Structure 1
Amino acid sequence: MTARPRSIRLTPRDIPSPNSISPEAQAALERLIDADGVPVNAHFTMPDHDDVAGWQAVKASVDAHYARMLAAASDAPTAAVETIRCDDAVVHVATPAAPIAEDAVYIDLHGGALVFGGGEGCRHGARTLADQLGLRVWSVDYRLPPEHPFPAGLDDGLATYRAALRSYPAERIVVGGRSAGGNLAAAMLLRAKAEGLPPPAGLVLLSPQVDLTESGDSFVVNAGMDGMLPTSLMSSNRLYAGGADLSDPLVSPLFGDVANFPPTFLLTGTRDLFLSNTVRMHRRLVSAGVPADLHVFEAMPHGGFGGAPEDWEAAHSPIKRKGALVIIVHLALGGCLKAPPVNFGVTADTGGHIAYVLDAACHQALRSDVDAVTIVTRCFSDERLDPVHAQAEEVVAPKVTIRRIATADHRYLEKEALGADLAAFTEAFCEMIEREERRPDVIHAHFADAAAVAMAAQRRFGIPFVYTPHALGIDKRMQRLECPGLDARIAAERAAIEGASAIVVSTEEEAARQVGGYGVALGDRVTVVAPGVPRRDCVPGPDTLADRLGDWFECPDLPIILAIARPVAKKNLAALARAYADDPALQAQANLVILAGQHAYASADERASLAELQAIADRPGMRGRIALPPQHDADDVAALYARAARGGVFVNPALHEPFGLTLVEAAAAGVPVVATRNGGPADIVATIGHGVLIDPEDTAAIGAAIRAIVGDPTRHLAFATAARTRADLYCWHRYAAATCALYGDLAAPRLLACDIDNTLTGCVEGARAFAVWRAASPLPFIIATGRGFDAARMILKRWRLPQPDAFIVDVGTRLMLPDGTGGWRACAEYARTLDAGWDREAVAATLAPLGVTAQPAATAGPHKISFYGGAADAGRIRGALSAAGLAARVIFSHGRLIDVLAPTGGKAQAIAAYAARRGLTLADCIAAGDSGNDADMLAACGHAIVVGNAGGELAHLSPRPGLLRVRRHHAGGVLEGLATLGLADASPADLPVPVAA
């Protein structure tokens, strides 16, 4: 029998350039092949890795080729450049004419197969990149083999990063690399992490060479398909490695531990030889909880198309993500929320959610994509409680602050009494946001009272909110634990679930049974993210309860059964005490310790529960066996967990437990558990495997389960081992990564930029509906048009369209701002940025002989010259400018209009300039358009709406997160896109929807 083949046999065939890419990109692919259809670069052969003389000759030839290319380049960069040294590293520092941020830097590591690309090519690349990004760029001219093999180049990159950290905060540094530079950028962050250096704000990997073993699928599938890199680079890989193992993570960072890497942007193409490198690196980052964006361009080979529209889109895709740091507000009203140490149990509401909020905030703040985290709570004064609660602000950690809002009621209020103060607190909270120079990107509300406040802020400011219930009233009803105000609480929780942009819960059970029990349509709004639990450091000594167990027990050396919970009925502590008191065999094996809150602060209901526990402890024969310490602190808890790990067990007997943080704390200490089967503990015990579940209403089963662990050393060891090895599955860093990714998805766009002609105009009903939306929406709105200022205002008036907050006119070469007196003024600062590299007279003189029909003089401007013509005329203009060595942007739109702009002009650049004035980036913006002169803003903004009547000039825009191609035409299409983004109601039913014939 013939064995089945293990590979696919392809018949010879020709593979054309696809029609799905721009004509310029098609032409670029065709330039990479010879007359026989073979990639030109396939004729180039590399020396063996140990042929030093051969490599030196190749490098000299490549350097000469680079020099000729630079000399012939028509688009000379304008950024200033100086060369510095960082230890052994040579670094070219390029500064654009008008940096968008003086306090930020991009560290670039150039490409070149880890062998080429240094010297003047690196210096020129630094200037080009600085112009493109609008940021200061430090380009590392790292040492290269054969003279300087691994790790010389990596050492140079790390030395540069260390030097940058001395001048810039880590959160204002982005590191990036193309091809070989992507290898060094990723390896540099692995080294930085190992040395304890803070991570940068972001990482950009453009077709990164992260696997020098070449083990990925595309090294076979795309071999010969990638016109730029048609064959293996194994010889240069080995030359660079210099004898080091190619699978060493610092040589091939694909194999490294990328946990806690900064948010990462990755780019590749379907014909890229390094496609597998990029896709596998993306999966590795995502699996480690790192926010990562992967952009794959149709038919793009390694290095791009050499100037096609797709290259402009690719180059600007990471720009809109840089520097867009998140501001988070956690909102929690109940309990005594303060910086650690927290006196848990000091009030009935000072419990686990306080620890959750503090740990969540502090770990989110450690991330480089987070600018600040604020925890907002009530301000109150109570002589029984810490005076810090009357303090308006309290610093918790770097980038984490507690802000306390005062109302007319300065008392401490229990959860049930907060409702009376909620309206005043809500108004004060909204006033606080109104005063903020920069408003939060997201509000994370804890419990339904905080969600009600967050909903008010969402309505007023458009800020999305996330809801974490922690505990739900519907569970009390299911457990038949009726209490005053339960109906109102359940109604408030239902409103919070209905109104939240997203709901974060800790277990699948909580998502399905608890939140799902409210009968609210949830869609995909519920996200399960398990919290982490900090390991409690044990501080042994005579001052901890663990060392004073002799004060309670006749046999203090016995293992302990430990329980920690508030003394309330739902925690079911009395059932545990009865199970122990009714089981003499268990009494002989272990003592029982119950930490039931701080007794001195107990409420009336809690005092009743404590009395029940004490009555059980006072039964005949129970003295010297049960400890009910009246107070405890964090050191006591840590020491008791450590004591329980020595043959004991932790028990959570709650009738229902929403999550069960103490079970994960026990796991971190290596303590086996016996836990209720109702609620979150079922998920936790299944995940960690460190104990058993019980029916909390079966006291005999509780005792038997404890006895089976305490009395069986082998079983105890197995559970303890599972606890220690799997507790890290509950990790606050992983929680922070998941929630920040969620916040980023929710962060509402903050600025709408619309084209006019055929975008807002073209349909009277749509224009009318857009005007109604604008009148009710707080979203800032600007016009971005090819028209001049007067013409733009006239067309808005004719169509009864609303006035914008600003005008971008003349295809993005003029920014018009309100002058404060009802008039408008041109933004001189923006105009100055367009002067760089623009020689208008020379451009006009060069184009005059072409005979292309000029548009009326009124359409021209200092940074714009306009013509009538077709695509062929636009091509002739580009060719003439290139031949003359003149820098300009040529934009063809509407099938007949050609605009020649200053090289740094365009709608996207103008939107970025206006957004920066409001503390925003392009990531915060929505662009809406229909034609070729809208392409740059549609590619660059975080969200883009391509209306249904858009022309073929926008067909080349690649699908990406945030790009919406809507069905409706004109302004109705804009509204459809806004509705999809949650910024408008569903498009009015009477607006026309195009129907195919």
Structure 2
Amino acid sequence: MFLLHVALQGCLRADNVAYGLTADTGGHIRYLLDLVKASTADGPVRRSVIATRGFESELGAEYAPAPLRVEAGFEILRIGTATPGYLAKEELWREVESFADRLVAWIEAQDERPDLLHAHYADAASVAAIVEDRLGIPFVFTAHSLGRVKADVMGEKAAKVPHLGRRIAIEEAAIARASLVIASSRDEAEVQYAGYEAYDPGRIRILPPGSDLSRFGAARACPEVEASIGRFLADPGKPVLLALARPVAKKNLCALVRAYGESPELRERANLVIMAGNRQDLAALDAEMAGEIRDILCLIDRYDLYGHVAYPKTHRPDDVAAIYAYARDRRGIFVNPALNEPFGLTLLEASAVGLPLVATDSGGPNDIIEMCGNGELVDPNSTLAIADAALRILRDTALWDRYSAAGAKAVASYDWCRHAARYHELLASLLARREQATPPPVDQILICDIDNTLVGCDVGVRRFTEWRSEQEGMVFGVATGRSFHSAMSILEQRDAPRPQVMITSVGSEVYHLDANGTTYTADPDWRAIVQRGWNRGAVLRALKGLPGLVPQAALEQRAFKLSYFSDGDREVTTRVRARLEAAGLRCSVIHSHGRYLDILPVRASKGTAVEFVRQRYGLPENAVFVAGDSGNDIEMLRTIPQAIIVANFSDDLASLPALSHSYVAQATHARGVIEGVLHFRSKARLAWQSAR
């Protein structure tokens, strides 16, 4: 496979990148370089080229236009454009046509053409679209950050930013055009992209970045770092609140300074260390970064934090691990207060060193802290929330120890080799040349719940994958309370087979696998069915303030699903139904695991969705198997004769009269699913033989 990456932004080079040198020399360059290195290390990619914009500037001669050359095992092509000098990212749209013209000319001059383009940022996607129009080479798109998110954060101020509307329009075109959109987190896939008219969840796949965390696990502080930080502090032995980010508004560093300055206890317990990029002179920084540094210095002065806050002007890339270790050795905390963090590589690095996290609840930190269990999520707009979370960890030594130890999971969970393997699989599926043959006939369907049914035992998943590959004529699907992207993530993390049908968000959404074997299409007929009579706003108003109910995070809410935590009271479902009936609302109310409560349109459930899928395939009831383990599977298990309850069930499923027809497996998880299917098949054969 020959991959051509297109990335116009930033001072890009293979090694020793000067992160923070410009406003666009940040995490996306780190991501791109690590991806390319991992992708070319092993596997089907035999050639990788990064095409970037070359320019003449005092920033360095190495960024000048240059022919293809090998750097660190891959190739970098620096293409000159109509404007010879450095341009900020907001101005790069002017260079798209000239960059694309010269890139097309370069491709046509090669002995072989790239199989696929990967566009990084929307301007690169505009280039890739031109290349696709002229040469027919498809492209995938990674946004890295999105203008509409920035506009939402800025509120009314967004209207005064002249380039923002143009950027959003370019992103709309990129999302609509790309063959596949790669997101780093659930928040990006389900919340950030959802604001775009071209949003198509089935074409978005979550692929968390890996990270080379090996050097961070053994990180040690060093005298140079100790000196550069300690010279600011009256008591350098205190715990440290550490932030490491470029000084731009979206990183929200000023909020961290305010949180620290407004909390006497926090100032007493800890020092604050802010590594805000690299600078020699404020006058040499662009306007935004210079303004942020000035604001930070003004806040330090306002709260009289001299001797409590360190803000070194420079640090080397090689110093980063030692900076984390400096904070860890003082039992400190890594704080990321960004207004939105698309992913958060620094969070992974800090986790690998053993630093507990306090991080924004907007973006990738949700996924990282859910996976690792190593910190606290906070509203980045609340200085009180930031301070309270930090104090909870600083006051509780056992909590600090637990969060510190849990960070080790980051090393195993966010691995570039694993990322590259999944990346290659996705790209290979897109490139596969499939013959337009008649699809094999379907004679059976198996629909499984995911959590604690299909997954929960790795050995069982491996056995199920082998068994599934032998089931000709069987459509495999899942039915889950998870969202589409959450379901895809857990299935891929556990190496489960790819479903042909996905019933998600407790039956309120149905997706079908496309012919390319990679992307999915939401079923418009099912959406039309479930939305009839659904009034989401009225349901919210009816349940507001009901005792025993607490809304789950915004990430768990869907267009046709409202999700709450319950207090465990068995009567909560009765109270909810009474409230809804009093408001004249007909809804499905599903309570599971004694804690989770979902409100859905009356026509939506796993059971009705399975029945819809059965009818879509034109199969009889006895050709369908379903398997589950908990209360939100009851509707599905109740309505299908061949119902399987795995041995590790909860919510007293096996004793419910409505499920007396179910087969209760002796095996747990996926092996219980296989056992149940074989049971019903054996039963059907005996019935057929008796009938003869």
TM-score range with shorter-chain normalisation?
A: 0.5 to 0.7
Which runs of structure 2 are paired with 1:111-510 in the superposition (5 Å)? Answer: 326-398=1-73, 400-479=74-153, 480=155, 481-482=157-158, 483-510=161-188
Q: Contact (CA 8 Å) 1:529, 1:739: kept in 2 or not?
A: yes
Aligned counterpart for 1:704 among listed residues 388, 395, 399: 388
- What are the superposed Cα offsets for residues 813-857 of structure 1, whole Å, 9 maximum, x if unpaired? xxxxxxxxxxxxxxxxxxxxxxxxxxxxxxxxxxxxxxxxxxxxx
Structure 2 counterpart SS, 1:533: coil
Aligned counterpart for 1:679 among listed residues 356, 363, 371: 363
In the alignment, is residue 636 of structure 1 matched against residue 636 of structure 2?
no
Structure 2 counterpart SS, 1:395: strand
Q: Which amino acid aligns with 2:24?
A: D
Q: Contact (CA 8 Å) 2:183, 2:208: kept in 1 or not?
A: yes
Q: Which amino acid aligns with 2:310?
A: A
Greater Cα shift, 712-721 or 601-610: 601-610
Structure 1 counterpart SS, 2:76: strand
Structure 1 residue 390 displacement after superposition:
4.0
Structure 1 residue 679 displacement after superposition:
1.7
Cα distance in structure 1, aligned partners of 2:320 and 2:63: 24
Structure 2 counterpart SS, 1:370: coil
In the alignment, is residue 594 of structure 1 matched against residue 274 of structure 2?
yes
Q: Contact (CA 8 Å) 1:672, 1:720: kept in 2 or not?
A: yes
Structure 1 counterpart SS, 2:408: helix
Cα distance in structure 1, aligned partners of 2:87 and 2:432: 34
RMSD over equivalenced CA pairs, Å: 2.4
Q: Which has the larger radius of gyration?
A: 1
Instruction: Name the residue aligned to 1:945.
Output: 436
Closer, same or farther: CA 517–707 of 1 in aligned 2, 3 Å: same
Structure 1 residue 710 displacement after superposition:
2.0
Structure 1 counterpart SS, 2:4: strand
Q: Contact (CA 8 Å) 1:574, 1:613: kept in 2 or not?
A: yes
Cα distance in structure 2, aligned partners of 1:394 and 1:592: 43
In the alignment, is residue 743 of structure 1 matched against residue 427 of structure 2?
yes
Cα distance in structure 2, aligned partners of 1:379 and 1:747: 30
Cα distance in structure 2, aligned partners of 1:395 and 1:960: 48
The runs of 5 or more residues in structure 2 that have no matched partner are 440-471, 476-513, 518-692
Cα distance in structure 1, aligned partners of 2:101 and 2:432: 22
Cα distance in structure 1, aligned partners of 2:222 and 2:198: 53
| TM-score between both structures, scaled by the size of structure 1 | 0.42
Which runs of structure 2 are paired with 1:654-693 in the superposition (5 Å)? Answer: 654-693=338-377
Which runs of structure 2 are paired with 1:611-626 in the superposition (5 Å)? Answer: 611-619=294-302, 621-626=304-309
Instruction: Name the residue aligned to 1:581.
Output: 261
Q: Which amino acid aligns with 1:588?
A: E
Closer, same or farther: CA 728–602 of 1 in aligned 2, 3 Å: farther
- What are the superposed Cα offsets for residues 373-415 of structure 1, whole Å, 9 maximum, x if unpaired? 11110111212335354443342333x1111112242211111
Greater Cα shift, 706-715 or 487-496: 706-715
Equivalent residues, number:
437
Structure 1 residue 514 displacement after superposition:
1.1
Structure 1 counterpart SS, 2:422: helix
Which runs of structure 2 are paired with 1:951-962 in the superposition (5 Å)? Answer: none
Structure 1 residue 576 displacement after superposition:
0.4
Q: Which amino acid aligns with 1:512?
A: E
Structure 1 counterpart SS, 2:348: helix
- What are the superposed Cα offsets for residues 25-44 of structure 1, whole Å, 9 maximum, x if unpaired? xxxxxxxxxxxxxxxxxxxx
Closer, same or farther: CA 356–402 of 1 in aligned 2, 3 Å: same
- What are the superposed Cα offsets for residues 450-497 of structure 1, whole Å, 9 maximum, x if unpaired? 001111111222211100011001111211151221111111101000
Instruction: Name the residue aligned to 2:650.
Output: none
The runs of 5 or more residues in structure 1 that have no matched partner are 1-325, 750-942, 949-957, 962-978, 983-997
Cα distance in structure 1, aligned partners of 2:388 and 2:405: 22
Q: Which amino acid aligns with 1:572?
A: N
In the alignment, is residue 734 of structure 1 matched against residue 418 of structure 2?
yes
Cα distance in structure 2, aligned partners of 1:559 and 1:577: 16
Q: Contact (CA 8 Å) 2:180, 2:204: kept in 1 or not?
A: yes
Cα distance in structure 1, aligned partners of 2:84 and 2:223: 36
Cα distance in structure 2, aligned partners of 1:691 and 1:338: 33
Q: Which amino acid aligns with 1:427?
A: D
Q: Contact (CA 8 Å) 2:221, 2:326: kept in 1 or not?
A: no
Q: Contact (CA 8 Å) 1:544, 1:635: kept in 2 or not?
A: no
Structure 1 residue 518 displacement after superposition:
0.5
Q: Contact (CA 8 Å) 1:507, 1:528: kept in 2 or not?
A: yes
Structure 1 residue 524 displacement after superposition:
2.3
Q: Which amino acid aligns with 2:86?
A: Y
Structure 1 residue 731 displacement after superposition:
1.1
Closer, same or farther: CA 643–947 of 1 in aligned 2, 3 Å: closer
Cα distance in structure 2, aligned partners of 1:405 and 1:959: 51
- What are the superposed Cα offsets for residues 104-132 of structure 1, whole Å, 9 maximum, x if unpaired? xxxxxxxxxxxxxxxxxxxxxxxxxxxxx
Structure 1 residue 737 displacement after superposition:
0.8
Q: Which amino acid aligns with 1:377?
A: T
Cα distance in structure 1, aligned partners of 2:222 and 2:358: 29
Q: Contact (CA 8 Å) 1:546, 1:636: kept in 2 or not?
A: no
In the alignment, is residue 562 of structure 1 matched against residue 242 of structure 2?
yes
Structure 1 counterpart SS, 2:46: strand
Q: Contact (CA 8 Å) 2:193, 2:199: kept in 1 or not?
A: no
In the alignment, is residue 516 of structure 1 matched against residue 516 of structure 2?
no
Q: Which amino acid aligns with 1:486?
A: L
Instruction: Name the residue aligned to 1:869.
Output: none
Cα distance in structure 2, aligned partners of 1:714 and 1:512: 35
Cα distance in structure 1, aligned partners of 2:349 and 2:397: 21
Q: Contact (CA 8 Å) 1:466, 1:500: kept in 2 or not?
A: yes
Q: Which amino acid aligns with 2:49?
A: T
Cα distance in structure 2, aligned partners of 1:981 and 1:653: 40
Structure 1 residue 547 displacement after superposition:
3.8
Closer, same or farther: CA 521–569 of 1 in aligned 2, 3 Å: closer
Closer, same or farther: CA 980–457 of 1 in aligned 2, 3 Å: farther
Structure 1 residue 959 displacement after superposition:
9.1
| TM-score between both structures, scaled by the size of structure 2 | 0.60
Q: Contact (CA 8 Å) 1:328, 1:443: kept in 2 or not?
A: yes
Cα distance in structure 2, aligned partners of 1:677 and 1:960: 41
Cα distance in structure 2, aligned partners of 1:720 and 1:633: 25
Cα distance in structure 2, aligned partners of 1:390 and 1:945: 44
Which runs of structure 2 are paired with 1:732-881 in the superposition (5 Å)? Answer: 732-747=416-431, 749=433
Cα distance in structure 2, aligned partners of 1:604 and 1:388: 22
> Percent identity between the aligned chains?
40
Cα distance in structure 2, aligned partners of 1:370 and 1:421: 29
Q: Which amino acid aligns with 1:528?
A: I
Structure 1 residue 421 displacement after superposition:
1.4
Q: Which has the higher contact order (CA 8 A, sep 6+)?
A: 2
- What are the superposed Cα offsets for residues 310-361 of structure 1, whole Å, 9 maximum, x if unpaired? xxxxxxxxxxxxxxxx111111100011011111011110000000000000
Instruction: Name the residue aligned to 2:520.
Output: none
Closer, same or farther: CA 620–442 of 1 in aligned 2, 3 Å: closer
Closer, same or farther: CA 445–544 of 1 in aligned 2, 3 Å: farther
